[in-house]
A and B are shown apart, each in its own frame.
Chain A
């Protein structure tokens, strides 16, 4: 299992992803520059967080049109595991690989805190190991998921809401940290191989980081046989 960690100008969670994948998850990983056109030899893709192209125009808008994205789209369509976290989620939506969009947080603030997530559908590739509520960090200004009513109905009806924000304790009223529609924190494509989520599993792979719950998501990569 070799994971391509895509680097765009302005990516800043690329090293977190690279090191957590190699050292904590136990799979091979390598950086791939966004101007590359081939992902030959890779079995999965990680689109890291950051502020690609300074978040100019819209978050992820320019990155979604980078040369490497044709290849990412091809791998998505062929069923390879693809995970976009934070800015990576925004890139996947902007590229049309996932539906919907991420808007400025409802409370206008950049949120940097731990969130609690519930895996709504454990039958997808990425959620198969998430056997409990998990705690992951978020750090974003634009994470308010939105989509039209018909898309929302489909996402809910087809089990494509991978994660929802839930309260950590009863009095936690701000658990939906960005005002996302239906408390949605992450969604998958129709096949379930592509996951986009605002929280960062790659930043929670060791107890010393405050949580190692990210492993429940990322360890799915170890379940794929070598191709």
Chain B
């Protein structure tokens, strides 16, 4: 077994959560909720679907991730976002 001496860059994993604004009808989420209710989960009132985007970064900057969200990952007209560093 060869031992590699190559520098392993430290990676940061960031999870971005994008959700439809609460005021907007989430028709896909509503379908899922209906399906769960049919399975007998009577306690369920609503379900909403969002997206989770996992980013691997070799250099983490909160500002840069925010800019990725603003520029592409989320549409401010219909969506909210938040993100967290997980590792």
Closest to A147 in B: B77
Return the contact of B75 from the options A101, A104, A107, A108 (Cβ within 8 A). A101
A106 B27 Cβ-Cβ under 8 A:
yes
Using Cβ atoms and an 8 Å threshold, which residues of chain A touch B28? 104, 108
How many residue pairs link A and B with beta carbons under 8 A? The number is: 40
Rounded to whole angstroms, the CA-CA distance of A144 and B30 in the bound complex is 15
The tally of residues in A whose CB lies under 8 Å from a CB in B reads 21
The tally of residues in B whose CB lies under 8 Å from a CB in A reads 15
Using Cβ atoms and an 8 Å threshold, which residues of chain A touch B25? 103, 106, 179
A103 B78 Cβ-Cβ under 8 A:
yes
Which positions 1-60 of chain B face chain A at CB distance < 8 Å?
20, 24-28, 30-31, 51
Could you list 21 examples of A-B contacts with CB < 8 Å?
A: A58-B75, A61-B72, A62-B72, A94-B75, A99-B77, A101-B77, A103-B20, A103-B25, A103-B27, A103-B78, A104-B26, A104-B28, A107-B27, A108-B27, A108-B28, A108-B30, A146-B24, A147-B77, A148-B77, A179-B25, A179-B27
Q: Give the A-binding residues of B (Cβ under 8 A).
A: 20, 24-28, 30-31, 51, 71-73, 75, 77-78
